[in-house]
């Protein structure tokens, strides 16, 4: 059901990006390029790992939602990395956010793998996973694209009873998956999760006023036209890598509130991010179906909070632009244990900004898996509960 990349690099199917077709003389990219960039990024990780492409077939059995629609019925793959772990360690599955891939967690693998069996994936249409033509036309179809493909991956890996961690849009997917398949998830960790607010919220008034301006109207039109940041990177051709480099250095360097990237980390991350963004458009096209302009969920998770069946921990950086008040509102409706942890010196990418405190937050969230008396486990220094 899977293909180990270390042993089968030659068998991987290269998928040329849009930028490669328009600018063949300039930095091309493909699945092979992404996997190679990932290996270079993971060279800073000391823990052993295995990369594989997990075959999830050409579509979920009996599904009326054709989430793998394309010109062929070829099998699709979810790119997966599994890190070495101690026998008996609880399994932690990590899902990346929008415009990201699993390599964004590179600063966390060594520490988390000391206590978990860590498995990270690239969602369908992202990173090193298959990139089918994205032809979903509704929020329901788009959610099924991610939820059902993850479930097919879980079946192929024969996993159950795992801790599920999702960041940002990955938190939205993890939440929706846990609502549909709660029997497989022991604990849910939502890091800067999207989806807990809608454009009917009072805080959306500023966005509504901005939409009424010509700039707002233009940006809203681009959003509804599914103009993504990745299209900009591809469209810039040879200037794309430099734009990504400037963003990476600014976001995780001069504008960082926590542990800034080293020169080596910055260079490797920039290379990796460029190739994941410049590859063929696929999963990124989910944006307008899941969120309205301003990143407000079209089907807010708050509406499903009373149906929650999995114990949940929210983690937010102090400087996260995602509003943790939405999590507080959801907690009022939940009938399962729920806590909200805030991490200092961290923004939306808190696991990069302040990895040390982030690791403490994750271990605390999962304390019932490590200690016989979790109720009396003290909150690690520096963290606060909201």
370 token code pair: 């490590």
**Spatial distance between the Cα atoms of 247 and 276, rounded to a whole number of angstroms:** 15
Which pLDDT value is given to residue 15?
37
pLDDT tens digits, one per residue of 133-146: 888 889 998 999 99
- The verdict on residue 202 lying in a domain is yes
- The verdict on residue 184 lying in a domain is yes
Report, as an integer, the average pLDDT of 25-52: 90
pLDDT tens digits, one per residue of 332-366: 999 999 999 999 999 999 999 999 999 999 999 99
Task: Count how many domains the chain has.
Answer: 1
Where does the pLDDT of residue 8 fall: very low under 50, low under 70, confident under 90, or very high at 90 and above? very low
- The verdict on residue 43 lying in a domain is yes
**Spatial distance between the Cα atoms of 161 and 199, rounded to a whole number of angstroms:** 35
- The verdict on residue 5 lying in a domain is no
Backbone angles phi, psi at 148, to 5 degrees: -70, -35
- The verdict on residue 6 lying in a domain is no
Question: Which residues have C-beta within 8 Å of that of residue 93, sequence separation ≥ 6?
Answer: 119, 120, 121, 159, 162, 163, 164, 165
Where does the pLDDT of residue 63 fall: very low under 50, low under 70, confident under 90, or very high at 90 and above? low
- The verdict on residue 2 lying in a domain is no
Give which of 282, 12, 285, 287 is closest to 126, Cα–Cα.
282
- The verdict on residue 1 lying in a domain is no
Give which of 172, 68, 176, 71 is closest to 130, Cα–Cα.
68
Q: What is the CATH number of the domain that holds 197?
A: 3.40.50.1820
- Is the pLDDT confidence value at 317 over 50? yes
- The verdict on residue 20 lying in a domain is no
CB of 49 within 8 A of CB of 106? no
- Range(s) of the domain holding residue 285: 31-385
Please measure the distance between the N-terminal and C-terminal CA atoms of the chain and give it in whole angstroms. 43
The predicted model scores a pTM of 0.90
pLDDT tens digits, one per residue of 159-193: 999 999 999 999 999 999 999 999 999 999 999 99
**Spatial distance between the Cα atoms of 162 and 328, rounded to a whole number of angstroms:** 25
């Amino acid at each position: 059901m899977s293909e180990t990349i270390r042993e089968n690099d030659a068998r991987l199917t290269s998928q040329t990006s849009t930028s490669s077709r328009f600018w063949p003389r300039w930095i091309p990219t493909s699945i092979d390029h992404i996997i190679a960039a990932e290996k270079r990024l993971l060279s800073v990780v000391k823990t052993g790992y295995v990369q594989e492409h997990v075959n999830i077939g050409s579509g979920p059995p009996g599904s009326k939602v054709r989430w793998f629609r394309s010109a062929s019925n070829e099998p699709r793959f979810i790119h997966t990395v599994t890190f070495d772990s101690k026998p008996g360690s609880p399994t932690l599955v990590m899902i990346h956010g929008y415009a990201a891939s699993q390599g964004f967690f590179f600063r966390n693998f060594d520490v988390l793998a000391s206590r978990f069996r860590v498995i990270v994936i690239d969602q369908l249409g992202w990173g090193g996973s298959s990139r089918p033509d994205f032809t979903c036309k509704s929020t329901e179809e788009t959610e099924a694209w991610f939820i059902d493909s993850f479930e097919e991956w879980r079946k192929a890996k024969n996993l159950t009873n795992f801790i599920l961690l999702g960041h940002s849009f990955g938190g939205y997917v993890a939440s929706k998956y846990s609502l549909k398949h709660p029997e497989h998830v022991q604990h849910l960790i939502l890091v800067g999760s999207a989806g807990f607010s809608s454009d009917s919220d009072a805080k959306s008034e500023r966005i509504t006023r901005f939409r009424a301006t010509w700039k707002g109207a233009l940006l809203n039109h681009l959003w509804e036209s599914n103009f993504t940041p990745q299209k900009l990177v591809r469209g810039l051709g040879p200037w794309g890598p430099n734009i990504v480099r400037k963003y990476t250095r600014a976001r995780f360097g001069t504008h960082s509130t926590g542990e800034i990237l080293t020169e080596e980390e910055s260079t490797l991350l920039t290379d990796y991010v460029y190739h994941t963004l410049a590859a063929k458009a696929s999963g990124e096209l989910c944006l307008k179906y899941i969120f309205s302009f301003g990143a407000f969920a079209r089907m807010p998770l708050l509406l499903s909070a009373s149906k929650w069946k999995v114990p949940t921990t929210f983690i937010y950086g102090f400087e996260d632009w995602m509003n943790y008040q939405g999590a507080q509102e959801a907690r009022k409706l939940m009938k399962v244990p729920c806590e909200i942890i805030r991490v200092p010196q961290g923004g939306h990418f808190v696991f990069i900004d302040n990895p040390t405190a982030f690791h403490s937050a994750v271990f605390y969230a999962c304390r019932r898996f490590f200690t016989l008396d979790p109720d009396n486990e003290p909150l690690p220094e520096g963290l606060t509960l909201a």
